[in-house]
């Protein structure tokens, strides 16, 4: 004995077509945004691995440009102009003056902050500081340390500074995306299906 069951599949096809048309792009945007924010957190966490971080300024400059249903692209990057040089490398030249001030003794350790009171102009307004050439011939700000000690070079003024790329932003983002994407995509699809409005 056999029982043959038949049904009209067209409504189901229409429902699935609407789901694909409306909810899948929504799910993709959700997943992209979740992964982008996770990548931003990972990038900020890894900043001290690549260079000395003296403040929260670089990390707070990280932004996410969110994906939309019609534009399924999420962007992770920094709004700090100096971070571009850290990622791509550059040769920095002075904007107005003829030289760039590079700290030497004014920054006794890589972790030290160069406050306004240690800037060249501030130092030269104090007693014991003066401008004289360095051994390489470029001018510098020196600090007298008494008769028995040689003066200490605090700043030197150069015409350009070459910055080598040392921030693998693309690599850090890619690693975070590969790790977070499967779970984020599944969760986003489930949410998209659960929030789908029935067709009327």
- 3-state secondary structure labels for all residues of 121-134: HHHHCCCCEEEEEC
Distant-in-sequence, close-in-space partners of 61: CB < 8 Å, separation ≥ 6: 78, 79, 80, 83
The token duo for 36 is 């982008």
Nearest residue to 57 via CA among 81, 80, 89, 84: 80
Structure tokens at 126: 């104090």
DSSP class of residue 80 equals -
pLDDT tens per residue, the chain (200 residues)?
A: 333 333 444 554 555 566 666 678 888 889 999 999 999 999 999 999 998 888 899 999 999 999 998 888 999 999 999 999 999 999 998 887 789 999 999 998 888 888 899 999 999 999 999 999 999 999 999 999 988 899 999 999 999 999 999 999 999 999 999 999 999 988 988 888 787 765 55
- Beta partners for residue 161, in sequence order: 92
pTM comes to 0.76
């Amino acid at each position: 004995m056999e029982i043959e069951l038949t049904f009209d599949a067209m409504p189901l096809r229409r429902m699935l077509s609407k789901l694909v048309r409306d909810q899948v792009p929504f799910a993709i945007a959700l997943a992209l945004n979740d992964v982008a924010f996770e990548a931003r957190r990972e990038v900020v966490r890894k900043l001290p691995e690549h260079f000395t971080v003296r403040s929260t300024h670089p990390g707070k400059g990280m932004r996410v440009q969110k994906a939309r249903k019609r534009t399924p692209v999420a962007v992770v990057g920094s709004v700090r102009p100096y971070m571009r040089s850290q990622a791509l490398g550059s040769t920095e030249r002075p904007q107005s003056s003829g030289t760039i001030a590079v700290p030497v003794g004014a920054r006794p350790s890589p972790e030290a902050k160069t406050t306004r009171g240690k800037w060249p102009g501030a130092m030269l307004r104090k007693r014991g500081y003066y401008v004289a050439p360095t051994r390489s011939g470029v001018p510098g700000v020196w600090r007298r340390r008494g008769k028995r000690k040689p003066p200490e070079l605090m700043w030197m003024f150069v015409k350009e500074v070459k910055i080598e790329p040392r921030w693998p932003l693309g690599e850090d983002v890619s690693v975070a995306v590969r790790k977070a994407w499967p779970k984020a995509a599944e969760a986003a699809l489930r949410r998209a299906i659960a929030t789908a409005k029935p067709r009327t």
